Structure 1
Amino acid sequence: MSCELCGKPIVDKPVRIWIEGSQLVVCSQCSRYGSVVKPRTVARPQRIAKRKELSMGFESTVLVSNYNVLIRQARENMGLTQADLAKLIGEKESVVRRLESGRMAPTLELAKKLEKVLKVKLYEEVRQEQEPPKLQEFQLTLGDVAVVRERTSKKTS
């Protein structure tokens, strides 16, 4: 390896420096003409969290169909008014009234608050099974994809 500034072969360890906006690899004698570039720190690869369960199922939460009846019965069993329940979950009384009448479906966050206070389940987990992807027995080649046209030759008469 040769010095990019003076052209002599580099005997010692090469030094990377900045000179007038350019980065050069120079010998130790020419390194005094510029500012030494600090070596980059090697970024440690981050550990990727492995999946706990490798399944082909799709899990989702679904609101139970009779959520309004469950909310009203649980509230009445606890002896609470709509205003009391609203204060406990940090919502307006009108929200509780709309939930109990079925005009409004609770969000996941609101349902969690209601489940905690009323001790009922409003969302249930549904697991849908999916078929594993089928492996192809052959490999796709360029010939399978490309459309080949034949040349037409010109006949001269």
Structure 2
Amino acid sequence: MAFENPPRDQIRELLKASSVIAVVGLSDNPDRTSHMIAKAMQQKGYRIIPVNPGASSILGERCYGTLAEIPFKVDIVNVFRRSEFTPDIARQAVAIRAKALWLQLGVVNETAARVARAGGLTVIMDRCIKVEDSILLPNGKGRN
């Protein structure tokens, strides 16, 4: 059976119930899409945790080399990596007991989706978290 994203009402509830987003592949370059989207989500009130072994901090937050190094609960693992890297990221997301694995626009991997779903995570693929948040929670998390 082909992958389908959850219905929008379920995505809305996920976003409302989430506050910490680990961004795998977050760039420290402000001109990169990952940086712009993470910054916008941070401005909407989410805590953004960069997962980038090549940087020490991004957007005022300490960077971690892997999801396993993050010493607190992560709600959503948002991925800005090529599709072939996502099955391992899905396994890491399951291991840290995230609520969801979110593969950004253009990132699709059925194996990663199966791994994450088998581990109890909600999976969203090939959608931009910033766009979905803007559509589903236009007035912010507490006012929709």
TM-score when scaled to structure 1?
0.22
Comparing both chains, which one has the higher relative contact order based on Cα–Cα distances under 8 Å and sequence gaps of 6 or more? 2
Structure with more helix by fraction: 2
The alignment's TM-score, normalised by the length of structure 2, stands at 0.24
Rg larger for: 1
